[in-house]
């Protein structure tokens, strides 16, 4: 007796990758995600390589993982992939503090976030 397979969470022509616990705020991560949304995979990788944002290296790693998932797990053609979705969300927040004047406490929050990238295979127009 074995369990039934989980149903696929994405369509047959899609693959996804998720990266958690990124040490940046979701607002800053969304700027990088908006940079690659809707682009072809090759162009998105080039844009992330030459981006000046610190977190772009981690987003590039997640995109490469989504491409590898598409190629190895779902038998999709890498040359026809586009970034269908790239969205981010909040994760945990480390709360730190610093003593301030008159016995007060300055709150320092250190946010974490996560990103999900979905790549989709499109048919080329002839």
pLDDT in the model for residue 62: 97
pLDDT in the model for residue 126: 54
pLDDT in the model for residue 28: 97
| Sequence ranges of the domains in the chain | 14-121
Query: Cβ(13)–Cβ(70) under 8 Å?
Result: no
pLDDT in the model for residue 54: 96
pTM, two decimal places: 0.90
pLDDT in the model for residue 6: 86
pLDDT in the model for residue 125: 65
Query: Cβ(13)–Cβ(54) under 8 Å?
Result: no
Which CATH number does 14-121 carry? Answer: 3.90.470.10
pLDDT in the model for residue 81: 96
Low-confidence ranges of the chain (pLDDT < 70): 125-126
**What residues are paired with 26 via a beta bridge?**
none
């Amino acid at each position: 007796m074995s369990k039934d397979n989980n149903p696929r969470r994405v369509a047959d022509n899609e693959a996804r990758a998720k990266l958690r616990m990124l040490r940046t705020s979701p607002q800053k991560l969304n700027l990088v995600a908006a940079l690659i949304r809707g682009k072809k995979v090759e162009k998105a990788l080039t844009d992330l390589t030459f981006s000046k944002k610190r977190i772009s290296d981690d987003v590039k790693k997640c995109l490469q993982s989504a491409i590898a998932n598409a190629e190895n797990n779902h038998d999709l053609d890498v040359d026809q992939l586009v970034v269908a979705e790239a969205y981010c969300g909040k994760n945990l927040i480390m709360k730190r503090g610093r003593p301030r004047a008159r016995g007060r406490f300055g709150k320092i929050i250190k946010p974490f976030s996560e990103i999900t990238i979905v790549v989709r295979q499109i048919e080329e127009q002839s």
